[in-house]
Amino acid sequence: MATTFRQAAFRRRLCLLLPAVSFGIVIGTILFAALAMVIQGAVGTVFAIGSLIFGIGTIGWSGAVGLGRSLDSMQRHLGDDTAWTQASARRAMTRLIGFGIGMMITASLFETFAIII
């Protein structure tokens, strides 16, 4: 069975997002463990940090999509030879979004398990 273009594109995007989510889960767990020894609201703090990173990634992604062509044109016009591209900015922001999602998932799971136990 041949994969369609949409399936291949979805798979590429998923391969970009899943490592960032996994890394966010690991860092969120470490951050929760460190904060749980110091403050009472460690779950809320980890969730807030994750949502902040998610929000920054979302704003950055939309900015890269909305202003990407303009920034590319400006760089060509000025003769600036940087490695910035619209696609690389979107990839970087997608990784930030995934990292924030991972931290929020971690905080949600810790809160859920704390309620159950």
> Could you list the mean pLDDT of each consecutive 10-residue stretch along the chain, which spans 117 residues?
78 88 93 87 92 96 88 81 82 94 94 74
Query: What predicted TM-score, i.e. pTM, was given to this entire model?
Result: 0.83
Q: Cβ distance 103 to 27 under 8 Å?
A: yes
Q: What is the per-residue pLDDT for 86?
A: 84
Q: What is the per-residue pLDDT for 87?
A: 85
Q: What is the per-residue pLDDT for 58?
A: 96
Phi, psi (deg, nearest 5) at residue 87: -65, -40
Question: Tokens 């490592």 correspond to what residue?
Answer: 19
Residue type, 44: G
Three-state DSSP at 16 gives helix
What residue ranges do the domains of the chain occupy? 5-116
Distance CA 15, CA 100 (A): 16
Q: What is the per-residue pLDDT for 50?
A: 95
DSSP 80: -
